[in-house]
Each structure stands twice: as C-alpha cells, then as structure tokens.
Structure 1
Amino acid sequence: MNGFKISRQNTRSLIWDRIATGCFYGLGAVIMLLIFWLLFTILSKGLPQISWDFLIKLPEEIDAGGGIGPMLFNSFYILALSLLISIPIGVGAGIYMAEYAPNNRFTEVLRICVESLSSVPSIVFGLLGLAIFAEYFDVGLTILGGAVSLAFLNLPMLARVTEEAVRAVPNDLRNAAYALGTTHFQAIRTVVIPVAMQAIITGICLVAGRAFGESAVIILTAGLSTSGEMWDFNLFSPGETLAVHLWYVQSEAIVEDARQIADKSAAVLVFVVLLINLVFRVPLWINNRKLKK
C-alpha cells in the first residue's frame, strides 16, 4: 500500500515537473519573440535608409536631409569618459565590499545605500549634475558634466554587480591560492578577478548600454545642442547625444523629414547598443572556448 502511494506521488511529481518545464520554455519563447519583434520593428524601419552621409553630416534645423554626426560622436565620447570614471571606482568599490569590508552595521547600511541608489531614477542624477556643474561651478551644460553625471548613475549598479560576482567565487579557490603562499591582494588579482571577470563584464555591458541610451541625465547636464563641429574634444562644449537628438526630433523638430530622421536615429541607437555588448562579450566567449579545449 505504501509503495502504491509513493508511486502515485512520483507520478504526480513527474507530471507537475513536465508542466512547469513546458511553462518555463513557453515563457522563454514568448520573451524571445517579443525581443526579436521589437528589434525587427526598429531596425527594419531605419537601417535600410541609413547612409554614410547621414552618419557624418551636421543636423539641419529647417531643411531636410540633416545628419547625426556630432551627436553620434558625443554619444561615444561621453560614454568613454563616463566608463573611464565609473569602471575603476565601481569595480574597486565592489571588490572592497566583498573582500575587505568588515561585517558590521556600517557595512550593511552602506550596502543598503548602494542598492537604493541603483534604483533611483536617472533624472535625479541629472538634477545632481545640474546643481554641481551648472550652478555651483557655473560651467554650464557641458560634455564633462554629462560624463561625470553618467558615471554617478552607473557607479551603484557596477559596484553591486562586482560585489556579487566576487562573492560568488568559491572559497576553495581562495584557500588554494593562500596555500601556495600568495597574499590577499595576489589572490584577488590572480584568482578571484579572473573567475569573476565574466560577471563583471556583464555588469559593464549593462551600464554601458544604459549610458549610451540615456537622455534625461544628458538633457540636464550636457544640453540640447552641440558645438557644430564633428570632432569636438573640448570637455566644456555642449554635448547633445544621439538619444537626446532622437527625443528632440520626434517631439519638437520642424524639419519635414523628422520622422525619417527619428527612425534612422533609433535604428543606429539600437544597433550600437547591440554592438557594445558584442565588443565586450566576444573576447570572453573566445577565452571560454580556449579554456574548454
């Protein structure tokens, strides 16, 4: 009798397991289809119309046929500057929280503060950057202000991702490194960071894509215009980016081909975000394949 009950329970468990597996596969398929539909909708409208002139020409205020050259350059320039600031500080803070910070109330409060900052709306960081650069230092809306404000926006997420990645490294690897006579820093540099690198790179991809497509922070700190030059490296020039230009063209532009410019700008924006992820991820894929061989 007991064997019969156990058999029925096993059968029910197998049925529920198959139902749950089917539901999860179905949800995954729905999400993938939604993502591909969004990508196809955006890219199919804009990519066929994109030309080299569109990518390097200056925008037009009244006449049709303007380009996105300065805005595209500003997007990459501000992204690079923000990553140069946020990656060393964010990764270093995450390593400190995981490896060096003592387990006390202050550390817990600090961790809660970092987690809270990760969910703060981006416009709050834009207002912070506006108060610091435009009001306190009185430098106006500049590329430097936009880059630093984006770095502030990315720091909490990058620190938390790095901390979780470092904490996920098995302690057996650390103990093995200590057994070989390494110091704490040597163990982190030669064992912990290489093992956690894939998760850290994933976090960098997330913040880079978020920064490239950010508009609220840039509007408040870098402005709605450019210097009018294609390659302007001056940190105190206005720094309208592609995401801001897309918003402006879609909502306020008076040129007759505003809709076409918006479609092409959106396609370029999505394509670049995908390209950023590939640039960061491909070296890791190649390295993993080499390790498996």
Structure 2
Amino acid sequence: MNAKTADKLATGIIVFFAVLIVAILAGLLGIILFRGIAQIDWHFLTSPSQNMKAGGGIGPQLFNSLFLLVLTMIITIPIGLGGGIYMAEYAREGKITAFIRLVVEVLSSFPSIVVGLFGLLLFVNTFDLGYSLLSGAIALAIFNLPLMVRITEQSFRAVPREQKEAGLALGLSKWKIITSILLPVALPSLITGTILAAGRVFGEAAALLFTSGMTTPPLDFTDWNPLHPRSPINPLRPAETLAVHIWKLNSEGVVPDAKQVAAGASAVLVIMVLLFNLVARWFGRFVYRKITASKRME
C-alpha cells in the first residue's frame, strides 16, 4: 500500500467516525425532541407538577435547575480559576504539587453518587443545612472543581511562553501578566470548561437526590425575600431539579401522564443545555473581542 492510498484510507476512516458521532448525536436529540416537543407550552413550563392527576407542569423544577446552576457556578468558578491559576503560575514543582494534582485526578473520577453521599453526611446532617439548594450547590461545586482546576491550569500553560516573557521584559507584575496577557488568550478554553461544568449541573441527578432533595415546597413567586421559606430564591429550601424530576417520574411516577411529562421535561432539559452552550459561546467570543480590543487600544 503506497502513501497516497494509506492517506485516503485513514482520511475515510476518520470522516466515517466523525459522521457516525454526529449521526448518533442527531439521533438522540431527534428522538428526545420528537417525543417531548408536543408537550411543551406555556402552561407546561410555568405550572407546578401534580401528584395524582394529569395536566401538571415543570415550572418549579425548571426554576430550581436554573437557580441551582447560578449558585453552583458562583461557588465553582472563583475557586476553580484560583486553583488552576495557582497550579499553573505560582506552585513550584515538587511533592506537594504532585500530591495536589493526584487529589484533583482522584476527585475527578469520583462517581457523582459518592459525592452526593458525602454531601448528605457533611452538609445535610453535620452542618445541618438540610435538604436544600445550598447543600446541592456545594456538592456539585465539589463535583465540578477538578474539571475547572484542570482546564484552567492547562489553558494557562498552553499560552506561548514568549508572551509571558514579553510581559516580564516590559516590567509588568506577575498578576498584571496573568490578567492582561494570559487570561485573554486562555479565555476561550476557560469558557469551554465552564460550559462543560454547567452541563454537568443541568444533567446531574444522583448527587442531588441526597442533598437538594426530591420535593419542592409551594413557591410564592411574588415573594423575593431569601429568608422566607416559600421564597423561590431561598437557598435553604428543598428543591427538586428537572433531572431529578425526570428520574422520579420514570421510576415512581403515579400521575396518569407521567411518561408524557417526563418526555416533555427531557426535551426542555436538552433545549436548555443547547441554548446555554450557544449563549455561553457567544458571550465568550464577545468578552474575548472586548478584552483584546481594549489591550490593543492601550
């Protein structure tokens, strides 16, 4: 086999697997959307679920998923970025650094249900936070921190060394180099890492069964005092998310239209993830253009 034939064969194999992956993804999305899109309307998206009769919606569960995402990202992003920047720019290579990397790798391989049990023992019981949005957010932050730390470290290490040396030659401080030179270049990778972490929050159910709970109290969406028990932004109330609701409907749902509600909720969850990816990528490109343009003007 000559080189040209081998190249064509390898290219054909690569294209085949690429098309296969796209076809599998399109098939999964098509099946989920086909089954659930007919269930989606304004009533379905805003009304509460029903326990014994048909016609319920996913309003509280949808809000809980979005609110939990915000809480989790508020905890995860600063700690993940700080840890990754420290590992990439400040930590000296040695036994301690190698041990930290080992801990990060071990945490990244933990099953989510183990993280949920840890959250149940520590946050729900020991810290007496109960089944709450805050317990779930902290547990998911622990679940996502290894990913954020690793992506941040790799993103900063991937920046060409010459750019950092140019900043040192100009007399810039280390922090100024990080914020003005390294961060704008690493931003696209950081946005990708944030999207991956957020996607795991949207789809996670096992860890939340033991931390945020499987019920949602009646919510008063006119009450935005976070200290009130029926306030939707109270972080200490139990909250059933969309993924947990789907699992609950498929495993122990007693409403007559449980399968239809689960199909509609699955379609909404998929659409949410797709929209979040598109918006996050657009925002990342917008911020990147703004940062790089401002640096050029300076």
User: What is the TM-score when the length of structure 1 is the normalising length?
Assistant: 0.92
Q: CA deviation at 1:180?
A: 1.7
1:29 paired residue among 19, 22, 25: 19
**1:53-83 deviations in whole A, cap 9, x for unaligned?**
1111011000100011111111111110000
What's the counterpart of residue 271 of structure 1? 271
What's the counterpart of residue 127 of structure 1? 117
Amino acid corresponding to residue 241 of structure 2 in structure 1: T
Q: Which runs of 4+ in 1 moved over 2 A?
A: 283-292
Q: CA deviation at 1:137?
A: 2.0
1:144 paired residue among 126, 130, 134: 134
Amino acid corresponding to residue 194 of structure 1 in structure 2: P
Which whole-Å CA distance do the structure 2 matches of 1:73 and 1:230 have between them? 12
Q: CA deviation at 1:134?
A: 2.1
Checking the alignment, whether the CA contact within 8 Å between 2:188 and 2:285 is kept in structure 1 is: no
Task: List gaps (5 residues or longer) in structure 2.
Answer: 222-231, 294-298
Q: CA deviation at 1:115?
A: 1.4
Which whole-Å CA distance do the structure 1 matches of 2:127 and 2:284 have between them? 41
Which whole-Å CA distance do the structure 2 matches of 1:43 and 1:230 have between them? 31
Amino acid corresponding to residue 260 of structure 1 in structure 2: Q
Amino acid corresponding to residue 252 of structure 1 in structure 2: E
What's the counterpart of residue 161 of structure 2? 171
Q: CA deviation at 1:275?
A: 1.1
What's the counterpart of residue 67 of structure 1? 57
Deviation larger for 131-140 or 215-224: 131-140
Q: CA deviation at 1:289?
A: 7.9
What's the counterpart of residue 99 of structure 1? 89
Q: CA deviation at 1:288?
A: 6.9
User: What is the TM-score when the length of structure 2 is the normalising length?
Assistant: 0.91
Checking the alignment, whether the CA contact within 8 Å between 2:40 and 2:264 is kept in structure 1 is: yes
What's the counterpart of residue 210 of structure 1? 200
What's the counterpart of residue 48 of structure 1? 38
Checking the alignment, whether the CA contact within 8 Å between 2:195 and 2:277 is kept in structure 1 is: yes
Amino acid corresponding to residue 91 of structure 1 in structure 2: L
Which whole-Å CA distance do the structure 2 matches of 1:202 and 1:248 have between them? 31
Which whole-Å CA distance do the structure 1 matches of 2:16 and 2:178 have between them? 41
Matched, 1:20 2:7: no
SS class of match (1:245): helix
Answer with 1 or 2: which has the greater Rg: 1
Report the count of equivalent residues.
282
Q: CA deviation at 1:285?
A: 4.0
Checking the alignment, whether the CA contact within 8 Å between 1:198 and 1:284 is kept in structure 2 is: yes
SS class of match (2:140): helix
Checking the alignment, whether the CA contact within 8 Å between 1:143 and 1:238 is kept in structure 2 is: yes
Which whole-Å CA distance do the structure 1 matches of 2:34 and 2:240 have between them? 25
Q: CA RMSD in A?
A: 1.6
**1:74-124 deviations in whole A, cap 9, x for unaligned?**
111111000000000001100100000001111012112101211111111
Checking the alignment, whether the CA contact within 8 Å between 2:39 and 2:261 is kept in structure 1 is: no
Which whole-Å CA distance do the structure 2 matches of 1:80 and 1:71 have between them? 14
Matched, 1:241 2:244: no
Which whole-Å CA distance do the structure 1 matches of 2:259 and 2:153 have between them? 43
1:229 paired residue among 219, 222, 226: 219
Which whole-Å CA distance do the structure 2 matches of 1:288 and 1:143 have between them? 32
- Specify whether residues 144 and 93 from structure 1 end up closer, same or farther in structure 2 by C-alpha distance, changes over 3 A only: same
Checking the alignment, whether the CA contact within 8 Å between 1:69 and 1:230 is kept in structure 2 is: no
